[in-house]
Amino acid sequence: MSVLSGKNILLGITGGIAAYKTTFLVRLFIKSGADVRVVMTENAREFVTPLTLSTLSKNPVLSSFTDEEDDNATWNNHVELGLWADYMVIAPATANSMAKMANGVSDNFLLATYLSAKCPVYIAPAMDLDMYRHPSTGATLNILKKYGNVIIPAAHGELASGLVGEGRMAEPEDIVAFMEDHIIRSLPLFGKKVLITAGPTYEAIDPVRFIGNHSSGRMGFELAKAAARLGAEVTLVTGPTHLSADNPEIKIIRVISAEEMYNATSELFPGTDIAILAAAVSDYRPANPADRKIKKKEASLTVELEPTKDILAALGKAKKQQYLVGFALETHDELENARGKLRRKNLDAIVLNSLNDKGAGFGKSTNKITFIDREENATSFELKPKSDVAQDIFTEILRRMS
């Protein structure tokens, strides 16, 4: 899944021959899962048609403040468009347009939109070799960088004039790759390894029966997705569940029993930066599981149980530089029990939820949590979808790790 998936991308096209490549660029943005809108200068319309770009983007293409052919048309709001965008890309960016951008000139719709944008702006220069090498172009690029714009380096190759050298607009696939890499590297968890556990564990009574619980695994899966969106390298160790992450950046290890989850997490933990144990691990398992299916009899059946290994306590004991977060699902004395677990197991934080809260607990798409840190400061949240809860948890973690 691309980091651009679900994002709003505003593509600005200025009047250079490289504008013909923007049809491919729009297609690549759409393929990455982004919503694309296009603005272009009047000169750009000579190199690529608005009809082509609107068909590809499935949005109207704008190049002026009003529709001159419709006296009753409302004006095109450049401010609203600039605020809509998560990212703005100006490609190709001619020397003329970049000079205007550097000096705050706003004599067309594209430039007015650029000046209104509050999002990161990526600029892909395109011009002839001598223009690109001119000192004024270098000064313009330095000013644009100083303003916080991101310059996508021009490529080396054959130019429209027949010369060979720098100044060629980066190829569409290279623009997308540059943006993805730049965005990922700027994410708060880039370079961090995050370990998440999710779901129930099943402890075998015999080959067909088990002791388990009602955990769906949703909370852990949402935590894994949130971590991946924040740029982390994510490993998700999950008990039996029908869920999937739908993200190739999340490595999933599927286990059945508490013992298997203990082994997997113990192996991964030393190389982990953040570990969040959201799984509902069985506290007990049958001491002597049967090799064959136990046949039903009239007499009652007694199954001797023994404790499973305490994964959270083991990781708390082994913890060095890791930030370790546990979960506490309680039915009474919630805060007292959660704080006790936080201290006993040497955690950096614990996430408390209660079965007494409507909409929280197993099998729900929502959750209501209280985040308690190492100093036992408690921050409570309202009932929310688990995807939003996952984001809240990482916001609290990042606040304390920064």
pLDDT tens across 78-131, in order? 788 888 999 999 999 999 999 999 999 999 999 999 999 999 999 999 998 888
pLDDT tens-digit readout, 33-51: 999 999 999 999 999 999 9
The CATH fold assigned to 8-186 is: Rossmann fold (3.40.50)
Could you tell me the CA-to-CA distances from 367 to 104, 245, 381, 397 in Å, in that order? 48, 19, 9, 18
Compute the distance between CA of residue 282 and CA of residue 293 in angstroms, rounded to an integer.
Answer: 21
Model pLDDT, residue 395: 96
Model pLDDT, residue 66: 64
Model pLDDT, residue 67: 63
- State the span(s) of the chain assigned CATH 3.40.50.10300: 193-288+305-401
Q: 137 and 95 in contact (C-beta within 8 Å)?
A: yes
206-211 mean pLDDT? 94
Q: Which of 39, 5, 18, 49 is nearest to 124 (CA)?
A: 18
Quickly count helices (H) and strands (E) in the chain: 13, 22
The percent of residues in the chain predicted with pLDDT above 70, rounded, is 96
Catalytic residue among 213, 247, 263, 346: 213
- Higher pLDDT pick, 379 / 332: 379
Flag whether pLDDT at 178 surpasses 90.
Answer: yes
Assess whether 213 carries a catalytic annotation. yes
Model pLDDT, residue 219: 95
Model pLDDT, residue 329: 83
pLDDT tens-digit readout, 150-172: 999 998 887 777 767 788 899 99
Model pLDDT, residue 76: 67
- State the span(s) of the chain assigned CATH 3.40.50.1950: 8-186
CATH superfamily, domain at 193-288+305-401:
CoaB-like (3.40.50.10300)
Flag whether pLDDT at 69 surpasses 70.
Answer: no
pLDDT tens-digit readout, 256-280: 999 999 999 999 999 999 999 999 9
Model pLDDT, residue 84: 94
